[in-house]
A and B are shown apart, each in its own frame.
Chain A
């Protein structure tokens, strides 16, 4: 069934002809938000101006949630793993050197605890997205000082 046919079928079920507006708008909006986030990150790097962080990202929390929700449901576990690795990779320079192994040991535990339901995997993936931060070219996170337990405790909160 093509996408227009699917929309027609959904409208019949909903019994509301005006629902097409929200159905069509939502799909376009999600794709636009996803593109926007990547564009924002690229723009921030290009500007090389740390002062620009807030004005570019603003209160990006809600956008991130919606963007992540647009991901393909077929590969949710792969997406979750990729997201977790991206987030951990971002924090790696900051984690105390001796503690990195502890964090890596927690990785499979975290993934196992997420569970297998579609909603839960998607919710955790979306939450993980929020913890990504952007650095400028040449900008470096200082000190390998964050204890693994601190990050693990934050990751556990995501699971709740």
Chain B
């Protein structure tokens, strides 16, 4: 039986993309899988009794070493902010390519804590900063120094000691360009070095909290229990900065979603499912309920989604337990069809992720296909005809063409780059100034504009002729030829409409990172948790691959 790939017109809608969950394809999980046999080491830990100073952690294999260089600084409570406007943080980090010399550390000490206004070199690969969850950090220090373990309920509610507020890579602020390192086998997957940074930062937070507690009361203090450590991750606050990325990297977006879609298709095409595989699927499904019930948020929008997810997952488990036989042919296809009919989008995508758990042989080869050589697809095939272009648009953007952009509500917002922080922002076109400097992220509107103009041209004219008179549509012509080859490269929705939920765009990207516990703080930013439940670095050589579903939080 051949199953078709899912229709981009359904999958690439923002409400669906905003319902994606982590899976075996997620970058933090594929990072752990790739680096599990690397040698982990804490090379330097030079903190004072209050936890301020420098530390270095590394992963090493053969002649290659990656080193996380950490700088923990004292800041005042009123200087601590997760917003991008902040200028000081509790800790700042960079991932250095190789073993840093003392000269490197001295150089980095002057630059890394300054983040966006500092300058890095081609020897640095990623850059980040993080703030303490002061309430949790102080509580843990207090309890450990008294010889006790912390209150698990408090830890469970928050899920981390620190949260990062940005992770930069790929040439930002002088960091190494991707082309310098792209041929390294171990980073043949998107954001792998960003994941390494966050993972090592997590270990630093445990070491720091133990260190401070010990110096507070050397005779009585204990270290944080390893099981508790494992159930803590690293938080992250993410704002709009992430949203344009998925629009600006269409072939990359395609490769992420395409990998997920191919995995699902292959799983649905399995005729007979082995007992051990169905057992693993059901085990992950049932244990994952803890992930849903411990998913805390004040966001009404997300609370409704979680409530519906929990309701539908319970309904699905009841169906599996009582009305379903895994010995039937094509069981995962039956499951998928049941979900499409009976479950909400959040639940469909949740179960799709869990379906991948038994199938390393399907997911592992896909992981290496999730990067993209974007430059290969940059050149516009200008010898093609207007007729070709019209055909592609009508085939690939059929839903977009139905949107009426004459209506004010469909062009309500515009994307711009703020002068202060050089970060993307979203504003109301009819209330705020600056729309004349709009970023080219209104793809749906511009596709429709292009289509209208093309209809006035002769069918056999070339794209070159069209562009010579319509240069303002050049960026969108390029995209149309990309979507011709990459069906999942385009969000099939209006990114400037009144009803836009930007957090759907953030959620899509973060789900591929492997984030859990999406906690929208508004429609424009959210908090998440990464690596919660993940093995500690010294456990990597032999760890439970399904740790995500077996965490006790």
- Do these two chains interact? no
Residue ranges of A at the interface with B (Cβ–Cβ < 8 Å)? none
Residue ranges of B at the interface with A (Cβ–Cβ < 8 Å)? none
